Amino acid sequence: MSKAELHIKNMVCPRCIKMVRYVLEHHGQEVLDVSLGKALLKKAPDAPQLENIAEALKEEGFTLLDDRRHQTVEAIKNFVVETVHYGELDELNANFSTLLSQKLQKDYHQLSKLFSETENTTIEQYIIQQKIERVKELLVYGELTLSEIAYKLGYSSVAHLSGQFKKVTGLTPSHFKQLKEDKRKPLDHI
């Protein structure tokens, strides 16, 4: 038998990667690699094994994807999450549409249309939502100034970040920080 690639929805962090690896290995699979949204197995599981794996993943909040359109949308989401939350500064200052097209080797307009049809939001809005969640996280940690956060996330200015933050959350970044409440959303709920 040949290698098998599983596409998995709701993987948003390194902990998700560990959990998916654990579930697969627990179900007797020889795992070659696991990354956000994907797992590469040494051989394809048979139908009953795949059903058991799907059920076990579902119990942990993940979903196996078998539809190409959904796989592509999940790949877009994973790329955005990886870039915004774990990426380097030069990636955040680059043009997301160009990076995404290069990463998925598909025309950005096709990706954008598919994403909008499937998710009822644009890729741009999804990126903004992810960036705002990252800003919230950095504000809660309190280790960086708003100016440093704006620079780190590729905003042209603090005013641009503040305006976008207020538009999305209804609060200014300083008011959010004063609330002392964690109003962050889990990444898989965005």
All structural domains of the chain, each given as residue ranges with its CATH number in brackets, are 4-66 (3.30.70.100), 70-189 (1.10.10.60)
177: confidence class by pLDDT, cuts 50, 70, 90 = confident
Contact 73, 114 (CB under 8 A): yes
Asked if residue 29 has pLDDT above 80, the reply is yes
Question: Which pLDDT score, from 0 to 100, does residue 187 have?
Answer: 64
Contact 31, 39 (CB under 8 A): yes
Name the token pair of 85: 């939350």
Confidence band, pLDDT 50/70/90 cuts, at residue 23? very high
The letter for the amino acid at 183 is K
* pLDDT for 66: 84
Query: pTM for this structure?
Result: 0.75
CA nearest to 26, candidates 55, 3, 47: 55
Distance (Å, whole) CA 100 – CA 75: 9
- Judge whether 156 and 99 are in contact, CB under 8 Å: no
Give pLDDT, residue 41: 95
Q: What mean pLDDT do residues 8-34 have?
A: 93
Buried b or exposed e, range 29-41, using 16+ CB within 10 angstroms: bebeebebbbbeb
Find out whether 111 and 98 touch, Cβ atoms under 8 Å: no
User: What is the per-residue pLDDT across 141-164, written as a single tens digit (0 to 9) for each?
Assistant: 888 999 999 988 989 899 999 999
Angle of helix 96-104 relative to helix 123-141, nearest 10 degrees?
Answer: 110
pLDDT digits (tens, 9 = 90+) for 38-86: 999 999 999 899 999 999 999 999 999 888 899 999 999 999 998 898 8
The one-character DSSP state at 139 is H
Q: What integer is the mean pLDDT of 118-141?
A: 93
Q: Please give the DSSP secondary-structure letter assigned to residue 106.
A: S
pLDDT band at 190 (very low <50, low <70, confident <90, very high): low
